[in-house]
Structure 1
Amino acid sequence: MSGRGRAREERSAGGVVVRRVDGEMHVLLIRDPYQNWGLPKGHVERGEGDLDAALREVREETGLEDLTVGPVVGTIDWYFRQGRRLVHKTCAFYLMRSSTGVPVPELDEGITECLWLPLDEAVAQVTYDNARDMVMAAAELLRSGTVEAE
């Protein structure tokens, strides 16, 4: 047995933030202190739902306030060690739109850069495969017409 059954469970939530620029869909990526590119996300606080946590974290990490929330894009999970303790983290991502806001990286949150990239470039730029999967899932939702692009 791997010992994963003894892992402490943690929840996070975040957003795949999109905007249309000159007719092309762009995705907002953030750079963390380790120089990894990913999506804004963070811990769900006690008494807080995933959606509220996702909005709070995106606002905290990017400074964006003009967010419109769409459906859940998907959920990812991973295991990591925190000291001697194994942690199983689950993170729900919501599709979000920001039409006019200018992102400002929140240095106090460890965010060193925010960058709007065309969808295909964002897919290539994301450091982690599971975050890349969320960007691609959001793109599929938009392309399929399941949700409106604007």
Structure 2
Amino acid sequence: MSSSANELRASGFVIFRMVCNQIEYLLLQTSYGKHHWTPPKGHVDPGESDLETALRETEEESGLRKMDLHIIEDFNKTIKYNVRGTPKTAVYLLAELIRLDTPVKLSDEHQDFKWVPLDKACKLVEHQTLQEVLKECSTFLQQNRI
């Protein structure tokens, strides 16, 4: 993991579930700023892997734990963008919610959550790069018939 000292790095999961043969994605609405919608993700702590960060942040932000998820090993999407002039790298991994009745428990960082199909997810998510991540997840899932 080579990243410059001033570069921000984050990691998270795009979490999906199957409901009546339709894929729905979990999006969380932030309780700060513009109240944007995003999958659970957060800053990578020193010595932490992207997977460890994604698991920690998912549990902190949604209450979903590793035992609630089936991690899709061969999906990994990295996007790069700037946050207030500082380069940021975000790594998105993919996971399926195993038990549909598992409740989402939000942290103070978020005020709402929704399970939505791809088209609605792309409308809620304002950033084009994140819309592309969701579309790549959908394509991956269709091609692999997960």
TM-score by length of 2: 0.86
Tell me if structure 2 keeps the 8 A contact 1:69–1:96: yes
The size of the alignment, in residue pairs, is: 136
Say if 2:76 is the partner of 1:73: yes
> Secondary structure in 2 aligned to 1:8?
coil
What's the counterpart of residue 12 of structure 1?
10
Percent identical among aligned pairs is: 31
Say whether 1:30 aligns with 2:53: no
Equivalent residue, structure 1, for 2:88? 89
Question: After TM superposition, what 4+ stretches of structure 1 lie above 2 angstroms from structure 2?
Answer: none
**Uncovered stretches (5+) of structure 2, i.e. residues with no partner:** none
> How is 1:42-57 mapped onto 2 (pairs within 5 angstroms)?
42-57=42-57
Q: After TM superposition, give the deviation of residue 7 of structure 1 in Å.
A: 8.3
Question: Deviation digits for residues 34-89 of structure 1, max 9, x if unmatched?
Answer: 321111110110110011111111111111120121133311111122xxxx4211
Cα RMSD for the two superposed structures: 1.7
Aligned residue number for residue 106 of structure 2: 105
**Whole-Å separation in 2 of the counterparts to 1:144 and 1:55:** 25
Partner Cα separation in structure 1 for residue 142 and residue 122 of structure 2 = 15
2:129 equivalent in structure 1 = 130
**Letter of the 2:50 counterpart:** D
Q: Secondary structure at 1:112's aligned position in 2? A: strand
CA distance in 1, matches of 2:98, 2:122: 20
Q: Secondary structure of the residue that 1:103 maps to in structure 2?
A: coil
Counterpart code for 1:69: I
Counterpart of 1:123, as a letter, is C
Q: Which residue of 2 aligns with 1:116?
A: 115
Q: Unaligned 5+ residue runs, structure 1?
A: 1-5
Q: Secondary structure at the match of 1:105?
A: coil
Superposed displacement of residue 8, structure 1 = 1.6
Q: How does 1:135-146 map to 2 (within 5 A)?
A: 135-145=134-144
Looking at structure 2, the residues matched to 35 and 139 of structure 1 have their Cα atoms a distance apart, in angstroms, of 24
Q: Is the 8 A contact 1:39 1:131 kept in 2?
A: no
Give the letter for the 1:36 counterpart: H
Q: Structure 1 residues 98-107 or 16-25, which shifts more?
A: 98-107
Amino acid at match of 2:61: E
The higher radius of gyration belongs to 1
TM-score by length of 1: 0.84
Inter-partner Cα distance in structure 1 for 2:8 and 2:35: 24
